[in-house]
Structure 1
Amino acid sequence: MKRLLHISMGLLLGACLAAGRQLHAQDTGPVTEIETKKLAQTGFKFLSVSLDPRAAALGDALTARDDNGSLSLFYNPAGMAYFGQTFHFAVGQTQWINHTDYNYASLAYRPADGQYGVIGLSIVAVSYPAVLKTIFATNEQGYEEQGTYSPSALAIGIGYARAITDRFAVGGHVRLARQDLGSAQVGLDGRAQRYAKSTVSVDFGVLYRTALQSLTFAMSVRNFSRELTYVEESFELPLTFQIGATYNLMDLVAPGNTLHALWLNVEAVRPRDYPEQIKVGAEYAFMDLLFLRAGYVNPTDEQGFNLGAGVRLSTRSFRIGVDYVYTSFGIFDNVHRLGLQLAF
C-alpha cells in the first residue's frame, strides 16, 4: 500500500508539473530584440477572485492547508478530506472594487465518520453596479442613452474529497458557471440580443502530509474548461496552476505546543493571464481561539498587503468562527471581506 501511494504521488506530481510547463510554454512568446511574454486573455474573471477572508488574509496561500472545511472547495478541494466533523457551513461577502459585491456559501458533509469521503457544495453570486447603455447618434454628444443594465454572474458547484491515507488526499470540484452581460439592440430592426454564457469548469488537487512534523505540500488546478465565444470574440477561463507548502514554525522550538501556533504558507502560482506569482501568508493562533493573519502577493498591479483577524469558539461538538480581512488596492477602493463558519 505504501509503495502504491508513493507511485501514485509521483505520477500526480509529474502530471501537475507537466501541466504547469505546458501552460508556461503556451503563453511564452518568441524572443526578439526585446524579450516579451505572451499572456492569454481570459473571461469569467469572477471565478479567480478570492472569497474566503482567511484565505485572502494569507495572500490566498491556502492550497496546502487542510483545516478550512468546505471553503477548501474554492482553493484546493483535497483540503476538505481531513475535515474532522460531520457538517461544515460557511457564508460571507466580499466588497470588491467598483462597488461589486461577491456573496458565497459552501457546505461540506462527512458521512460515516469519513469512511466514504467528504461531499461539498458551493455557490458564488456576483452583483455588479448598473452600467449606462448608449447607442450611436448624430447629436452633439454622439450617443443616446438607453437606460442602464446590471451584469451578473453565478457559479454553483459540487465537490468530493477523500483521504487515501492519513497523509495523502485527493479532491475535485465541478462548477456550472454563468455570466450575463445584459442585452443590447442589434441591427436596424430594433431587436434585442442577450449576451450571456454558461460553461462547466473543473478544479482538482492533491495534498500530502509529510512525516516531518506539520510540513504539508499540495497542488491544485483551478478553472479548467473549454473555450467560450461571445459573438465573435473567443476566450478561455482563468486557468490557474498552484503548488504550495505550509509549516507550523512552533514545531521548531516547541513541538506539540497547543497554546501557540505560527503557520507559514508559501505558494507558487501560474495563472493563464498573468505572470507567475509568489504568495506568502502567516497566521498566528492563540489557544485556537484568536487568530492574526497577514499575506502578500508578488507581483501584482495594485493589490497591496492583506491584514486579517479571526475568532473561533468551540465546544466538544460545536464550532463557530468569524473572519475579517482588509486588502489595500492602490488607486481602487480598499477591499473588505467578512465570513462566518459553523461546524458540528
Structure 2
Amino acid sequence: MNIGVDAAALGMANAVTGSTHDVNSGYWNPAGLLDMEEGGQVALMHASYFANIAQYDYAAYAKPIDDRSAFGISMIRFGVDDILNTTELIDDQGNIDYNRISKFSTADYGFTFSYARRLPLDGLQYGVNAKVIRRVIGKFANSWGFGVDVGFKFKKKNWDIGLMLRDITTTYNIWNIDEDEYKKVQNAVAGQNQDLPESTEITLPKAQFGISRKFEYDYDYTFMPAINLNMEFYKTNDIIASDFVSIAPAVGFEFGYTDLVFLRTGFGNFQNLTQIDNTTKLSFQPNVGLGFKYKGIQIDYALTDLGNQSAALYSNIFSLKVDLSIFQ
C-alpha cells in the first residue's frame, strides 16, 4: 500500500497529494475525487518489479454522487507466483525426490472504499478511505487487516493544497498460521524457527502534505510544479529526522501541451546514507514519465529509479484512465 498507483503520479515522484483530481485520488487523497468528470472514471495499472519476479496490479472506479459528494472503490494486488515449495523435497528415508516439489503464490491485496464531500467553506473538501487488507502466503499463512485514511484538500484559483493522514487508526493485520505446515520446517535449521511468528502486524500512522500550482501560457502550454512532505512519526534516514517526526520531501513537475501530451519528472526518496567510512551521503530517486490524452482516454508511462545502476531494478509502469462520460 506504500508503492503508489498511476504512472502519471509515479513519474512525478508521488508528489501529488495536493494536485490529485481523478479516480486515482482514492489512493493519493480521497478529497480529490470531487474534481472528476460527471460520468465517472475507471483506471488500470500494471508494473513488474525485481526483474519481473513480482507483479503489481491496480484497478479503480469512481463517480460523483451529486455536486457535493463522490465515491470510489479500488483494488491493489502485489504478488509473486509459482514459488517452488521444497519443504518436502527429502522424504522420511533421507532421499531426494523432486516429485515432492510443489508451487505456491504469495500475494498482498488492498481493497479501498472511498467517500468525499465538499465542506461549507468555499474550496475546502475532505475524503475518507476504509481499507481492507488481505495477505496470503500459500497454504502456510494468511491475514486480514483494516485501516482508515482521512484526506483534506483546499483549492484557490490555480493553487491546490492537500493533507493526507494515512492509517490514522493504526492498521492491524491479524495472521492465521497453519501450524501443521509450520512444523514441517520448524527443525530445518537447528536453533531457528522454533517459535511461531507474531500474529499481529501493525502499520503506524503517516502524514503527507502537498502543494501544487498550475501555470498556463498562451492557452496551449501548462506547467505544474508540486511538492510533497512525507512524514513518519519515528526516526528514519530521511534528510529531516528526529525522534518525533521524520520528513522526506518529494518534488514533481508536469509540462502539458493542449491537454494532449504531458511530460513529467520528479525527485523523491531523499535519504542520508552512511558510508563505510561513517560519512553520510545524500541519495535520491529520479523518475520520468510521459502521457497522452485524447477524448477522455489517457495513457501514461513512468520509468522509476533512474539513479540505480542495476537495470533489473528499473520499473516500467503503464496505466490507463478513461472518462466514462465519453460513452454517454
TM-score range, shorter chain: 0.7 to 0.9
Structure 1 unaligned regions, length at least 5 = 1-46, 184-193
Partner residue, 1:14: none
Instruction: Measure, in 2, the Cα distance between the counterparts of 1:161 and 1:229.
Output: 29
Instruction: Measure, in 2, the Cα distance between the counterparts of 1:272 and 1:102.
Output: 27
SS in 2 for 1:48: coil
Partner residue, 1:220: 164
Q: What is the RMSD of the two structures over their aligned residues, measured on CA atoms?
A: 2.7
Instruction: Measure, in 1, the Cα distance between the counterparts of 2:144 and 2:63.
Output: 27
* Higher share in strand: 2
Distance apart, 1:156 and its partner CA: 1.6
Say if 1:51 and 1:94, in contact at 8 Å, map to a contact too: no
Change (3 A) 1:244 1:320: same
Instruction: Measure, in 1, the Cα distance between the counterparts of 2:137 and 2:151.
Output: 31
Distance apart, 1:73 and its partner CA: 0.6
Equivalent position amino acid for 1:172 in 2: V
What TM-score, normalized to structure 1? 0.72
Partner residue, 1:179: 135
Distance apart, 1:272 and its partner CA: 5.9
Say if 1:284 and 1:291, in contact at 8 Å, map to a contact too: yes
Instruction: Measure, in 1, the Cα distance between the counterparts of 2:173 and 2:75.
Output: 21
Instruction: Measure, in 2, the Cα distance between the counterparts of 1:119 and 1:226.
Output: 22
Deviations 1:139-188 (A, max 9, x none): 799xx9753321012122211111225411100111211010123xxxxx
Partner residue, 2:115: 160
Deviations 1:105-139 (A, max 9, x none): 11111134x24x00111111222143333449797
* Higher share in helix: 1
* Percent of residue pairs bearing the same amino acid type: 19
Say if 2:107 and 2:135, in contact at 8 Å, map to a contact too: yes
**1:71 counterpart (15, 24, 27):** 24
Does residue 237 of structure 1 match 2:210?
no
Partner residue, 1:328: 305
Say if 2:250 and 2:266, in contact at 8 Å, map to a contact too: yes
Say if 1:66 and 1:83, in contact at 8 Å, map to a contact too: no
Moved more, 77-86 or 132-141: 132-141
Equivalent position amino acid for 1:195 in 2: A
Count of residues in Structure 1 that have an aligned counterpart in Structure 2: 273
What TM-score, normalized to structure 2? 0.75
Change (3 A) 1:232 1:284: same
* Pairs within 5 Å for 1:155-304: 155-164=110-119, 165-183=121-139, 194-210=140-156, 213-224=157-168, 225-230=170-175, 231-233=196-198, 234-237=200-203, 239-250=205-216, 257-271=218-232, 274=236, 275=238, 276-299=247-270, 304=285
Instruction: Measure, in 2, the Cα distance between the counterparts of 1:61 and 1:226.
Output: 23
Instruction: Measure, in 2, the Cα distance between the counterparts of 1:303 and 1:145.
Output: 45
